[in-house]
């Protein structure tokens, strides 16, 4: 298999290529070429240089999407979650098509430090550990401190200087008042650190209610789980958060589905689907969901009447653009993170898009991260009708 940074990879005979870009979800191309783990060409087979490849994947007419991005996870260290005493959950999610995860805080660490020097040390350690180790090849952006009372501007500068780029969900720590959150969000933003706020009722003992007024005052970059984690705000408050702010509208698997559909509907009504991003909010009390992103895509597409190709863009290009990530779009120069999908065996849908719009899950046939094959037929999704093959095997 190709190692990132060295070999040339060609994926040819793509039946449907989803770009990740909501403005143009489907590309008129059937071949992707990658070198050194990055996409160097996208086009029709006759128009791209696919010679000299060390690995050629024949997609067999199946579908390629940018690797799915889970915008909201709670990792701890390695591929272990103490929340449900589970090992291998990130690798399992990779088998669900996920190639990148964004931490909303390493909150499940047993004995998680809440003093300021301790929480900073944990964030820096988590950031380092996950940059050095990718379970299943998945890129986990971690090191997301949970802000606490008493933090000052210098703390945010220290975190940024040390390589921290995210805050954990505001509201999971002691900071639950709008004015205090707003100050910390502003300091984080000043030093290039992105922010997310918990939205809705308490998720687990120890977290609290964050309502519309607090979310609006805090003005974090991402309205984290706008559909609650699980307990959602009243629908009129969700409407206001969509219509009266410009921040990202994050819908998660471990939330309230009625509220999720409401948020989607409002975002569409106001013509701002590009603000909608998807996550799981796992691991959590509800466990881990290896197919969580695929499930949210099918839920929003089928019950929310969203075109399937658009739903895939919410989980890829939208998240990339909002969070400033390199991955998430099929474009020259981007990392070659791809999820190869097909319609599930015996779905009533005649095409993969129709099957998703009917509520069935797409089936993963292969996952590629940085130009390297990470899994073939998924061990978790329903089996695909057609599988890609590696030529010469």
In the complex, what is the shortest distance from the CB of residue 203 to Zn ion, in angstroms, rounded to a whole number?
5
The smaller minimum CB distance to Zn ion, of residues 161 and 213, is found at 213
Stretch of 112-120, 197-205, 305-313, 370-378 contacting Zn ion, by CB under 5 A: 197-205
Give 245's Cβ-side CA count (13 Å radius).
25
Nearer to Zn ion, 225 or 239 (CB): 225
Q: Which of residues 122-181 bind Zn ion (CB under 5 A)?
A: 169
Q: Decide whether 146 or 364 has the Cβ nearer to Zn ion.
A: 146
- What is d(CA 54, CA 35) in angstroms, rounded to the nearest whole number? 10
* Segments in 250-339 forming alpha helices (H): 257-269, 292-303, 308-314, 317-323
User: Closest separation between CB of residue 232 and Zn ion, Å?
Assistant: 12
Residue 198 makes contact with Zn ion by CB under 5 A = yes
From CA 280, how far away is CA 292, in angstroms rounded? 6
- Decide whether 21 or 281 has the Cβ nearer to Zn ion: 281
Of the candidates 265, 338, 371, 331, the residue with the CA atom closest to the CA atom of residue 21: 331
200 with 210: CB under 8 angstroms?
yes
382 vs 377: CA distance, rounded Å: 10
By CB under 5 A, residue 83 contacts Zn ion: no
| Piece of the chain touching Zn ion by CB under 5 A; list 42-50, 134-142, 202-210, 323-331 | 202-210
Select the span of 45-53, 194-202, 230-238, 378-386 touching Zn ion (CB under 5 A): 194-202
State the nearest-atom distance from the C-beta of 142 to Zn ion, in Å: 16
Task: Lay out the site mask for Zn ion across 328-367 (x = CB under 5 A, - = otherwise).
Answer: ----------------------------------------
Kindly state the helix (H) or strand (E) to which residue 239 belongs, with its residue range: helix 235-243
CB of 228 to Zn ion, least distance (A): 8
CA distance 318 to 349: 26
- Please return the burial class of 271, using the count of CB atoms within 10 Å of its CB with bins 0-12, 13-18 and 19+: exposed
**Minimum separation from the CB atom of position 390 to Zn ion (A):** 40
229 forms part of the interface with Zn ion (CB under 5 A): yes
SS3 state of residue 54: coil
| Distance in Å, CB of 95 to Zn ion, minimum | 25
Binders of Zn ion: how many residues, by CB under 5 A? Answer: 4
209 vs 389, beta carbon nearer Zn ion: 209
Cα–Cα separations (whole angstroms), residue 99 to 143, 215, 271, 272, 344: 18, 29, 28, 25, 20
For 361-373, give one letter per residue: b (16+ CB within 10 A) or e: bbbbbbbbbbbbb
By beta-carbon proximity to Zn ion, the closer residue of 12 and 198 is 198
Q: Which is nearer to Zn ion, 9 or 296 (CB)?
A: 296
Binding site for Zn ion (CB under 5 A): 169, 198, 203, 229
């Amino acid at each position: 298999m190709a190692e990132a940074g060295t070999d040339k990879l060609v994926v040819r005979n793509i039946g449907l290529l989803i770009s990740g870009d909501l403005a143009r979800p489907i590309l008129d191309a059937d071949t992707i070429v990658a070198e050194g783990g990055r996409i160097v060409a996208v086009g029709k087979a006759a128009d791209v240089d696919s010679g000299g490849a060390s690995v050629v994947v024949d997609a067999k007419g199946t579908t390629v999407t940018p690797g799915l991005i889970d915008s909201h996870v709670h990792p701890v260290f390695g591929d272990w979650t103490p929340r449900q005493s589970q090992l291998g959950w990130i690798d399992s999610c990779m088998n669900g098509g996920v190639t990148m995860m964004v931490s909303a805080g390493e909150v499940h660490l047993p004995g998680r430090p809440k003093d300021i020097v301790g929480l900073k040390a944990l964030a820096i350690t988590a950031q380092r550990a996950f940059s050095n180790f990718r379970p299943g090849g998945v890129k986990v952006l971690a090191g997301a401190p949970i802000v606490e009372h008493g933090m000052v501007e210098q703390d945010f500068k220290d975190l940024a200087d040390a390589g921290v780029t995210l805050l954990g969900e505001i509201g999971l720590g002691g900071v639950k008042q709008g004015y205090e959150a707003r100050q910390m969000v502003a300091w984080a933003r000043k030093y290039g650190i992105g922010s997310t706020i918990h939205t809705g009722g308490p998720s687990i003992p120890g977290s609290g209610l964050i309502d519309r007024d607090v979310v609006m005052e805090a003005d974090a970059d991402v309205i984290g789980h706008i559909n609650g984690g699980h307990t959602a705000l009243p629908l009129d408050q969700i409407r206001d958060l969509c219509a009266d702010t410009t921040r990202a509208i994050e819908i998660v698997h471990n939330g309230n589905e009625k509220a999720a559909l409401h948020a989607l509907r409002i975002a569409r009504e106001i013509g701002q689907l590009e603000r909608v991003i998807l996550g799981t909010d796992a691991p959590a009390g509800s466990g881990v969901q290896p197919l969580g992103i695929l499930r949210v895509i099918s839920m929003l597409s089928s019950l929310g009447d969203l075109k399937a190709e658009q739903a895939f863009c919410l989980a890829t290009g939208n998240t990339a653009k909002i969070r400033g990530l390199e991955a998430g779009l099929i474009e020259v120069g981007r990392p070659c993170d791809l999820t190869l999908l097909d319609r599930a065996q015996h779905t009533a849908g005649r095409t993969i898009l129709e099957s998703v719009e009917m509520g069935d899950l797409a089936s993963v046939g292969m996952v590629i991260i940085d130009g390297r094959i990470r899994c073939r037929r998924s061990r978790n999704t329903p089996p695909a009708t057609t599988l890609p093959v590696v030529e010469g095997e």
